[in-house]
Amino acid sequence: MPSSSPQQPLIRSRDAALDLIKWLALLTMLIDHLRHAWPSLYFLYVPGRLAFPLFCLAIAANVARPRMGDASGLSARYLGWLLLFALISEWPYRLLVPTAESLNVMPTLMLGLLIANAVQRTDIQARWLGAGALATAVLAHEWLMFGAFGALLPAAFLLALRGSRALWLLPMVCCLAANYWAPFYADAARGDPFAWSVLGICLFAPLLGLLLLRLRPPFAVPPVRRWAYLFYPAHFLVLVALRSL
């Protein structure tokens, strides 16, 4: 029997590992957003930094699949779900976070999908779509949650999955840049433990995700299906209702 390549175990165990990563992303996202309903739980911002990179890793792993989609390598259905729920989620997001200065996270993930697909594929259509997405991310940096670096994070994960472990530094640095906020860096320079916790999680999250993706979970993992798209706007509305009690 021929020996397996280093990436073959990742592919064989991908489905269960991906579901585990998606569950962790959903859970940490919910934990993070609890602070918007109960401001005293602001410390949940720290574990909440796990959610976005895990979602980006799930996108990268899906793009890396040989069976990802049509000839362009991009599943129109996958992109369509992101676009649809980017639109649906904006109003519930604004209800929960009325002072938000960015859009909800879905537009960032949608641009990230297009950019990662352009890195994976060599056809001209994918490259043009990726270039357009990158230009949009740069121009809309101030309005995107996690900014242009957030849109680049799925592509950084994709390069890490395709290359050596030295490339794991790419998503780690990209995640740190995507979470850049000047006050945190100023607080970190003063030795503030909370700021250092945030920065540490931003560096640790991509590493955790990549390690989990390479391991076969020793337990059954329920699949995360399309209901997860609905969970995003729905959990905003539930938290708004709970906050008003």
Q: For residue 72, what is the DSSP state?
A: T
Which pLDDT value is given to residue 10?
41
Per-residue pLDDT, 15: 75
Average pLDDT, the chain: 90
Q: Looking at residue 205, what is its pLDDT?
A: 97
- Find the helix packing angle between 106-120 and 76-96, rounded to 10°: 150
Q: Which residues of 201-217 are buried (b: 16+ CB within 10 A; e: fewer)?
A: bbbebbbbbbebbbeee
Q: Comparing 5 with 213, which gets the higher pLDDT?
A: 213
**129-146: per-residue pLDDT in tens?**
999 999 999 999 999 999
Q: Determine the pLDDT at residue 5.
A: 41
Q: Report which secondary-structure segment, H or E, holds 157.
A: helix 147-162
Instruction: Give the per-residue pLDDT at 71.
Output: 43
Q: Over range 115-137, report the average pLDDT.
A: 94
Q: What is the pLDDT of residue 67?
A: 54
Our CA dihedral for 209, 67, 107, 222, rounded to 10 degrees, sits at -50
Q: What is the pLDDT of residues 46-85, one digit of tens each?
A: 999 999 999 999 999 999 876 544 444 567 788 899 999 9
Phi/psi for 69 (5° steps) reads -170, -140
From the CA atom positions of the chain, what is the Rg in Å?
Answer: 18
* CA diameter of the chain: 63
* Average pLDDT of the residues in 93-118: 96
pLDDT digits (tens, 9 = 90+) for 28-51: 999 999 999 999 999 999 999 999
pTM over 0.85: yes
The H-assigned helical ranges of the chain are: 8-12, 14-37, 45-48, 51-64, 76-96, 106-120, 124-139, 147-162, 169-178, 182-189, 193-213, 227-243
pLDDT of 107 over the 70 cut:
yes
